[in-house]
Structure 1
């Protein structure tokens, strides 16, 4: 029966009858649950995820893939779990949650074997794309070389080589990038016109970046014409972008025409990132009387993209959170079972003691020995339980601020009673003296910090970040990174709770041997006397002083808050 249902799903997928496919996928899951067949339950969720991928519903794809992955892990099928984890990463990448995609892809590599070459190549490609978006171009090129090792098709190998060259181009290593593009174009297997236009366009553009006097107009126009004839709209985005740049200092009107074409094509393809790029070009190329409308349009579009990214991150976080809550409920039931066993033992001991009272005179010595031994057993059990409780408190203690961030991010998408429970957990854990939670202090430090700052900001508050990429974070020792992270986290949480600010700015800068962080908001503010009475401020000052830094506050009632943090770099 289960095999028949699975075959029906496959049949309707081939006919693109996805409503029918979903119906039989749900039947497969329900039937497998009745038969207690975990493997087919996981298969059912995987089939649903595959259908939602066809339908470009990436959130539902992630949700069902996650459910399948968890079941495969429970039954010990790590190979299938690795493939499903890889598909989760791809879904996150499609929704521009690049940081989450990178973390999930890295997790997938732990499960995948050398036989899963297609998935391995895909995961290295996902990680490389994330690094490139974060401007870690050398790391991106390295991961694309790893993807190249596992590429199983010629077109995938050429695509990875192209991406390596683009990362080198971003890193201004134009000579190396040009060599790769020329090598690709010399490949005898390159017969696809769209691919040839792609590589030709990238080669010409890179030559121009290396030497602005290089004459590459014919190559750029030829590649654009091929893409137009092939109806390659994504390729046209790149061509219009490159042509607008190429003519900027040669023919302003022509450059603006190509920027307009870029904007129209970006709108037709639904690429909001390309739309931002086009509007930015038009702002630079248009008369002053048109820049205001363009600027307003840019800000509106940029804020929309930011909101979508935050929603996507919160959605993925919610799915993981819900699954973790289910596991906690299971753990709670197991704890209750253990307590019931203890109570049963105590009751049994009491019965034994009462039974022995009548024989106390005859067996007092034996009874005393037995009682002490039973008491010792009970004390060991209680001590083990107390130890588990202390460990649990320690874990909650470390997660206090993260729980608050999750709670804030989920306010609009989970029931109020769940928010109340989270608030209760937060209040309890925040009142306990806690140690710092684990924070990445390597190359992922800055993305992790920025993600935390962005996630803390309410939906109706605008966050401005400046100068973060100008800081040499590698020179900052891990201890200082951790303290800075915790202090900024405390500031942002206090802002969200008390300030009612609509605008928050965090500016990073370096001068001499000092790292400066200027925080400001337009919130309600307070008096310095009230500010100094809080334990949070005292904790922040103690943290900063521990690394010989300075923390200065400037605030007045209804005039916002300014904070200067100075740390020796």
Structure 2
């Protein structure tokens, strides 16, 4: 024995050490003054007052209303205040949770806050409060697409309606919940829904329908307690149908299965079983069973059960011992008042009226019975109206929203049409502007092309005049003076004649077709002096056929003028022309090793200024680099 004691002690110390280590690790997980720290400490302790204290400490540490742990702290507060039956505090923190959830715009927490308020109102037996808050919670769960939780809240609505004797409404709500519940995952809620429907049928006298729905509830029962409850309800329906033998068989089976420690359930089933036997045979003495059930109920503080026991005892003793019957009926009335159960009070008063009718004392209870019955009818009617009004207001609200959405949709369509029309107008305006710009650009380009062609034609015409008239006249003068003029004069006339022939040759017709490149190279070579070496590179790599005719004319004239300028002024021994195509541009690099010049002289010189004007006429670019004694470099870029 000592060995087992030592072993147990060692295990206890080991487990305690592990537990302390785990707690220490958990406590060290968050700073000691953080919200998370107090939340975890509250979860770790078993004392509810201690939990609430730690949760309050955590609430003190919350810095901002947007803290995501704040709703969780408030939710725990609601739960534990309910456990302590501190319902005012629970409602206060449920309202706080709703405000925080709205601030954080978290629909899930908003829905949960309304559900918590519904639970508190259920404890307070405020069925109207249960209905309103469960209704609001359901609406939010539908908004976030959680149909399962919405269905569960619908069941709470159904229970509240049933307790207010709105059996039709209760049945409708429970039936609606069934549409959203999953048969595999929500068996417990399915059984509850069928049970609610069965209760509604039974209270309306539809016993066959009630039996069918109780059987459905029993089919989905997930635990023994619910199963026994539904079997008890089935037995009560058989009792209503006066099929006492079937009811007795079920009650006996229930009593054999209920746990011996579950005195609350045992009292309920024993009381029903005994009363059913008496209904079969009014001569049977069931007082011991009824009193035993009453004793168990008192020990369990089962106020609802105690009321039921007094009801059965009053009825049992009615024809056996009226004094006891009256005494139990009075106790029945008192417990009904204590539990705030109007229906129990009305039923007790009705029994007292019957028991005292032969004594003439029933008048003491009649007025109270009428008053309470009127109050109950009024409350039930009011409840039904409230339930109907809430549903109606919500439906009308949804209709208004739908109407607004429809109007918004129509407005959106109209706005879209206006926007589309504006886009089309803008498109056509851009198109017109684009066409206008294109026409202007085209006309300008056409004008440039025509101007270039006109200049070319003018130059060609002048060349022809010089060749056909001036050069021929000079030649005729030379011929007539050959015998009489001095040699020096004849040499000068020959120079004039050659110059006119060169001018004519330089401005002769230009071939812009297939032979353009060869014609261009031949022209440039003919201009180059005999003592100057001309190097031309890259011209064969240029696709000359894709260059427009007017640009070819400009290139020809520009290079021709550059070469003529070089011949007249540079005294260069080496000239290089490099052709290259870069990024859809024709690039021509000219360089010579002549005597060079200043930039000012180049800009004021007529020859190169003409070159610049020609290049600009086709949107090209021209750059010069020169210094005295360092030659001349020209870079020409022409867009293709």
Structure 1 position 308 matched with structure 2 position 379: yes
Task: Show the counterpart of 2:447.
Answer: none
**Aligned match of 1:59:** 128
Find the counterpart in structure 1 of residue 72 from structure 2.
Answer: 7
Name the CA shift for 1:99/1:335 in 2 (closer, same or farther; >3 Å).
same
Q: Residue 237 of structure 2: which of 164, 167, 177 is its match?
A: 167
Asked if structure 1 preserves the Cα contact closer than 8 Å seen for 2:278 and 2:285, the reply is: yes
**1:290 match: secondary structure:** coil
CA distance, structure 2, for counterparts of residue 315 and residue 84 of structure 1: 18
Residues 407-466 of structure 1, C-alpha deviation per residue, up to 9 Å, x if partnerless? xxxxxxxxxxxxxxxxxxxxxxxxxxxxxxxxxxxxxxxxxxxxxxxxxxxxxxxxxxxx
Residues 9 and 47, structure 1, Cα contact 8 Å, conserved in 2: no
Q: Which residue of 1 aligns with 2:397?
A: 326
Of 270, 286, 295 in structure 1, the residue corresponding to residue 366 of structure 2 is 295
Cα pair distance change 1:34/1:294, threshold 3 Å: closer
Q: Which stretch of the first structure deviates more once superposed, 18-27 or 292-301?
A: 18-27
1:74 matches 2:143: yes
After superposition, the Cα gap between the structure-2 partners of 1:55 and 1:211, relative to the gap in structure 1 and judged at 3 Å, is closer
Helix, strand or coil: the match of 2:361?
A: helix
Residue of structure 1 equivalent to 2:213? 143
- In 2, the alpha carbon distance for the partners of 1:320 and 1:109 equals 19
- Taking the aligned partners of 2:419 and 2:302, their CA distance within structure 1 comes to 78
Q: CA deviation at 1:172?
A: 0.6
Corresponding residue SS for 2:301: coil
TM-score under structure 1 length normalisation: 0.57
Q: Is it true that 1:38 corresponds to 2:107 in the alignment?
A: yes
Uncovered stretches (5+) of structure 1, i.e. residues with no partner? 356-569
Distance 1:28 1:219, change over 3 A: closer
Return the alpha-carbon distance in structure 1 between the equivalents of residues 285 and 96 of structure 2: 62
* Aligned mates of 1:31, 1:125 — CA distance in 2: 36
- Following TM superposition, by how much is the alpha carbon of 1:298 offset from its aligned partner in structure 2, in angstroms? 1.5
Pairwise CA distance, 1:26 = 4.7
Q: 1:196 to 1:47 in 2, by over 3 A?
A: closer
Counterpart for residue 466 of structure 1 = none
Verify the 8 A CA contact 1:92 1:98 in the aligned structure 2.
Answer: yes
Answer whether contact 1:118 1:150 (CA < 8 A) is retained: yes
Alignment of 1:81-480 (within 5 A): 81-114=150-183, 115-187=185-257, 189-286=259-356, 287-340=358-411
CA distance in 1, matches of 2:222, 2:187: 7
Q: 1:4 Cα shift? A: 1.0
Cα 1:324/1:261, change in 2 over 3 Å: same
What residue in structure 2 maps to residue 479 of structure 1? none
Which fold has the larger relative contact order, with Cα–Cα distance below 8 Å and residues 6 or more apart in sequence? 1
Per the TM alignment, residue 325 of structure 1 is displaced from its structure 2 partner at its CA by 2.3
8 Å Cα contact 1:185/1:199 also seen in 2: yes
Shift of 1:258: 2.0
Task: Give, in whole Å, the separation in 1 of the partners of 2:163 and 2:328.
Answer: 27
Structure 1 position 28, deviation (Å): 4.8
Q: Aligned pair in 2 of structure 1 residues 58, 188: CA closer, same or farther (>3 Å)? A: closer
Whole-angstrom CA distance in 2 between matches of 1:214 and 1:18: 46
Deviation at 1:18, TM superposition (A): 5.5
Using the alignment, how far apart are the partners of 1:297 and 1:18 within structure 2?
A: 31
Q: How far did 1:220 drift?
A: 2.1
The whole-number CA distance in structure 2 between the counterparts of 1:82 and 1:168 is: 30
- d(CA) in 1 for partners of 2:104, 2:304: 47
Counterpart Cα distance in 2 of 1:281 and 1:151: 36
C-alpha distance in 2 between matches for 1:232 and 1:254 = 22
Corresponding residue for residue 544 of structure 1 = none
**Aligned-partner Cα distance in 1 for 2:113–2:308:** 40
Q: Distance in 1 between matches of 2:300 and 2:113?
A: 38
Q: Is the 8 A contact 1:66 1:88 kept in 2?
A: yes
Q: 1:226 to 1:18 in 2, by over 3 A?
A: closer
Q: Return the offset for 1:193.
A: 1.9
Kept after mapping to 2: 8 A contact 1:5/1:27: no
Distance 1:274 1:41, change over 3 A: closer
What is the CA–CA distance in structure 2 between the aligned matches of 1:6 and 1:345, rounded to whole Å? 42
Give the distance between the partners of 1:98 and 1:117, measured in 2 at CA: 23
SS in 1 for 2:69: helix
Q: Could you tell me how far apart the structure 2 residues matched to 1:244 and 1:34 are?
A: 56
Pair 1:173–1:325, CA change in 2 (3 A): same
Q: Is the 8 A contact 1:12 1:18 kept in 2?
A: no
Equivalent residue number for residue 477 of structure 1: none
Q: 2-side partners of 1:24 and 1:217: how far apart?
A: 48
Aligned partner of 2:44 in structure 1 is none
